[in-house]
Amino acid sequence: MRAIYHFLRRDNVAAIIFVLPFVIGLVAFLLVPMAMSFYYSLTRFNILRPPEFIGLDNYRRMLQDVRLRDSMQATFYFVFVSVPLRLAFALGIAMLLFKSTKMMGIYRAMYYLPSLLGGSVAVAILWRRMFFVTGTFNSILDVFGLNRNFPWLGDVRTAIWTLILLAVWQFGSAMLIFLAGLKQIPDSYYEAASIDGAGKSRQFFRITLPLITPTIFFNLIMQTIGGFLTFNSAFIITEGGPLGSTNFFALYMFNHTFAWSNAGYAAALAWFMLLLLAILASILFITKRFWVYEGGFS
């Protein structure tokens, strides 16, 4: 007993025990599944029975997959439109909410709410109903005499925009991070600027924007990765249609895994996505030194 006590009291033993929960989680829930998924990507695997090794066939198949090409196109379009819009919106709202009055706490909570709800199935269903031909959105247009029963979800040009709108509406988490970033900028900068005669917009572009570039950078990386993995809204609202215009990558992967019994191919797709995200993130990191301010606030 005394020996155990002494053993446990040693610093490195304690350290190992404290990191163990994390290490076990990392190995069991990340590294092992990743290794398995890589193996599956080299097999023909329908989930129901053991995988059968086929080498690089799945990766070769990707090169000729027309639906994959269309799916990539839809995903890129969605990410490159929705992420900047969402960040701009989040920053705009953060600027508005960056005043310390009594009501601000409530406003911030209210504006954050859509992000809590946004990924949920219930909101997706609500969205589908809103944009149906006879849905709320067309009824509102009707009030202004604009209703032509336009099928927002069924038209190739507009379906993806309903999803973009939903994504932009979920600006809350980015907004909170922007708020934190804004708080870091010392008031004295603004005071000095106004004494020197700089107006509000000049202050925004010359002080605020440059000084929150680290926050913008962080949000950009996180939201881009999140955007590429968008699944719920496309799965529920548009089911990938019309004409595959919202058949996002994650949905395509899901269908291959579960609906079409090609889990092997889907695993290969997942690795392709990982590679793609790694490249995109590296590009963002390379551009970082051209536009991100990394000095302090002194």
Partner 1 sequence: MKKALRFTVVIAILVALALVVVACRNDEPEPVATPEPTPTPEAQAEATPEPTEEPGDEPVDQVELTFAWWGGDFRAEQTHYVLDMFIEQSDQVSYIHRSVASFADYWPMLAIQAAAGTLPDVMQQDVSRLLEYQASNLFTNMAPFIADGRINLTDIPQSVVDAGTIGGEVIALPIGMNVAAMLYNATLLEELGLEAPRNMTLDQFIELAETIYEMSGVRTNWAHNDPANQMEVHLRAQGVNFFEGNGLGATADHFVEFFATIARGINDGWHIRPEHIAGREGAEQNSMWYPPGDENANLRTWNTPVWSNMLNGYLHDSPEDMEIGMTTYPSNNPIAGNFGRASMFLSMTSHTNHPDAAASLISFWMNSLEAHEHMLGERGVIVNPVIAAAVYDQLDEGPRRQTEFVGWVNNGNSSPFNPTRPEGAAEVIAELNDVRDQVTHGNMTPEAAAEHFYQVASGILW
Q: Are 212 and 182 in contact (CB under 8 A)?
A: yes
Residue 5 near partner 1 by CB under 8 A:
yes
Residue 113 near partner 1 by CB under 8 A:
no
Q: Compute the least distance from the CB of residue 16 to partner 1, in Å.
A: 10
- Of 284, 285, 268, nearest to 45 by C-alpha is 268
Please give the structure tokens belonging to residue 179: 């708020």
Considering only 74-82, 95-103, 104-112, 237-245, which stretch makes contact with partner 1 by CB under 8 A?
A: 237-245
Nearer to partner 1, 125 or 180 (CB): 125
Residue 255 near partner 1 by CB under 8 A:
yes
Q: Compute the least distance from the CB of residue 83 to partner 1, in Å.
A: 25
Considering only 79-87, 99-107, 155-163, 279-287, which stretch makes contact with partner 1 by CB under 8 A?
A: 155-163
Q: Out of 128, 190, 222, 288, name the contact with partner 1 by CB under 8 A.
A: 128
Residue 32 near partner 1 by CB under 8 A:
no
Residue 54 near partner 1 by CB under 8 A:
no
Q: Quick check: helix, strand or coil at residue 236?
A: helix
Q: Out of 156, 192, 279, 283, name the contact with partner 1 by CB under 8 A.
A: 156
Residue 14 near partner 1 by CB under 8 A:
yes
Q: Compute the least distance from the CB of residue 227 to partner 1, in Å.
A: 23
Q: Out of 84, 114, 214, 241, name the contact with partner 1 by CB under 8 A.
A: 241
Nearer to partner 1, 162 or 223 (CB): 162
Q: How far apart are the first and last CA of the chain?
A: 55
Considering only 6-14, 78-86, 185-193, 281-289, which stretch makes contact with partner 1 by CB under 8 A?
A: 6-14
- Beta-carbon contacts of 219 under 8 Å, excluding residues fewer than 6 positions away, are 87, 90, 174, 177, 178
Q: Out of 29, 205, 260, 297, name the contact with partner 1 by CB under 8 A.
A: 260
CA distances, 240 to each of 129, 130, 252 (Å): 16, 18, 8
Size of interface with partner 1, in residues (CB under 8 A): 43
φ, ψ at 26 (rounded to 5°): -60, -45
Considering only 32-40, 78-86, 146-154, 218-226, which stretch makes contact with partner 1 by CB under 8 A?
A: 146-154
CA distances, 132 to each of 151, 154, 158, 193, 236 (Å): 6, 8, 12, 50, 13
Q: Quick check: helix, strand or coil at residue 242?
A: coil
Nearer to partner 1, 46 or 213 (CB): 46
**Sign of the C-alpha dihedral computed for residues 36, 74, 93 and 139 taken in this order:** negative
Nearer to partner 1, 224 or 255 (CB): 255
How far from the centroid of its chain's Cα atoms is residue 77's Cα? 14
- 3-state per-residue secondary structure call for 44-85: ECCCCCCCEECCCHHHHHHHHCHHHHHHHHHHHHHHHHHHHH
CA–CA separation, 28 and 20 (whole Å) = 12
Query: Hunting for tokens 């809350």 — which residue is that?
Result: 172
Q: How buried is residue 10: exposed, middle or buried, by Cβ count under 10 Å (0-12/13-18/19+)?
A: exposed
Q: Compute the least distance from the CB of residue 240 to partner 1, in Å.
A: 9
Positions in the binding site for partner 1 (CB under 8 A): 5, 8-9, 14, 17-18, 20-21, 24, 46-49, 66-67, 125, 128-129, 131-134, 149, 151, 153-156, 159, 237-238, 241-244, 255-262
